[in-house]
Amino acid sequence: MHTLAEWTALAQTLEFRNLAWIDGGFRAAISGKTFPAINPATEELLADVASCDTADIDLAVAAARRVFKSGEWSRCAPAERKRVLLKLADLMEQHKDEFALLDTLDMGKTITEMVYIDVPDAIDCLRWTAECIDKVYGEIAPTKPSTLGLITRHPIGVVGAITPWNYPLLMAMWKLAPALAAGNSVVLKPSEKASLSCLRLAELARSAGLPDGVLNVVPGFGHTAGKALALHMDVDSLAFTGSTRVAGMLMQYAGQSNLKRVWIEAGGKSPLIVFDDCADIEAAARGAASAIFSNQGEVCIAGSRLYVQNSIREPFIEALKRFAGKYQPGNPLDPKVKMGPMVDRAQLETVNRYIQSAIDEGGTIAHGGLADTEGTGFFPRPTIVTDTRADMTCVREEIFGPVLSVAGFDSEEEVIALANDSIYGLGASVWTDNLSRAHRVAGAIESGMVWVNGWGDGDTTMPFGGVKGSGNGRDKSLHALEKYSELKSVWISL
């Protein structure tokens, strides 16, 4: 790990790619429009990024369709696709400090999280998926001897990917790795709040040998570029990570156009449950703090609803406040800092608005509170709200910031009902030393993922995704390939 001085010096050497990447090269938006990429810690301008819209999306989709039909990537041997993607992973490894800096400067993530989580996990996702693709077999149906039933997988075509700003590189890789490995062409629309790392990735992909047009990165706003991608008649599938509200709009656009498949990883309001038979209260409190304050709380699986059994509630909250005190916002380039700024002023003001609503609705601020919005940088205050009720706004709505709602419970049945009283179903965490209870509660919670005595653990081998208002389909694991391939049945009469 470099020092703050070393990271600061390296940051001065960066060259920001600020143009769209279409058909193997950088180009300005056809309209000539741009939007500013702002460092949320200093409010300094990093670059003016091409602001693409419908015309640029049309150009990118046309390039993606042309190369898909040519078969240069879609019909080459899986082993060849693997070779190119592994080369890209090697190039990412060589430029890992650059990628770490890009997302830290562009979005405000701490350099420590970039070095130890985002960059290595993105590389691992690419390598693991690439290694899998030449080991995925077709099937032969159990038919009578006079027939042969073949079941094969084929790339779906042109994939549109719309990715968020909270994990710019990593979330993009969760879409790109399986989509490209399966042989598709991709048009990626990264968030306008953090586009720089994806543009650099596209440039390296060409250096790795990816044919022109297979990967296109078109920065722009959701209501222009994102909408155009979702409505496009020549896009065969759409993969999205973002809010539940936007997810619903994208599904409507698919219905209004060509019924393209829409794969959604949307919002969350994850419950974290601590039973009184949890032997290590300190570990549980540390885990609860990490679950809400990591990445400034800008995490879809953030453990934002904490339920503590009443018999241990008071000592647990005291331990929780001690660990919360370790998350002091500061310069995200400093390896000692555990919390950086919010992505922009609007998000900081959103967090403040939810904290104020918690106060107005009868909650008690046990730690933190309203952030100062007058100084330089968009730094929040990690906040714990106690005395919350299930009907409070801060309990029901996704805040996407470092605000934790705390409530007590008495029985297992009561807390399961509380945990499931949500439109979301992405993640959940259960802390208990009772093995039977762990299995019982994990099975009863309406959630795509449950962690027992931990939070956020996992690797590329495990599926990631949710149920209810949190979406459908899964990122990571072999199941991710299902989203980016078509099954074909061929019945042969012998």
Give me 347's structure tokens: 């998000």
Give CA–CA dist 373/362, Å, rounded.
24
Among 420, 416, 424, CA closest to 441: 416
Report CA-CA distances (Å) from 203 to 166, 170, 199, 239: 22, 17, 7, 22
Distance separating alpha carbons of residues 243 and 403, to the nearest angstrom? 18
Q: CA-CA distance, 183 to 474, in Å (whole number)? A: 18
Q: How far apart are the first and last CA of the chain?
A: 64
Q: Which of 125, 132, 278, 300 is catalytic?
A: 300
What is the residue-wise DSSP string for 40-81? TTT--EEEEEE-B-HHHHHHHHHHHHHHHHHTTTTTS-HHHH
State the DSSP code for 372: P
**In this structure, is the dihedral angle defined by the CA atoms of residues 83, 87, 88 and 89, taken in order, positive or negative?**
positive
Name the residue with tokens 């309001």. Answer: 269
Exposure on the CB side of residue 470, measured as CA atoms within 13 A: 27
7 and 337 in contact (C-beta within 8 Å)? no
CB 130 within 8 A of CB 471: no
The residue with tokens 């890992």 is: 96
| DSSP label at residue 184 | -
Closest CA to 161 of 488, 480, 401: 480
The Cα 23–Cα 149 span in angstroms is 39
Give the residue among 239, 244, 314, 247 at the shortest CA–CA distance from 281.
314
Alpha-carbon distance 191 to 207, whole Å?
A: 24
**Active-site option among 265, 298, 394, 398:** 265
**Any catalytic annotation for residue 265?**
yes
Rg (CA), the chain: 23
Q: 492: Cβ–Cβ under 8 A, 6 or more apart, which residues?
A: 147, 148, 149, 150
* Residues annotated catalytic, as ranges: 265, 300
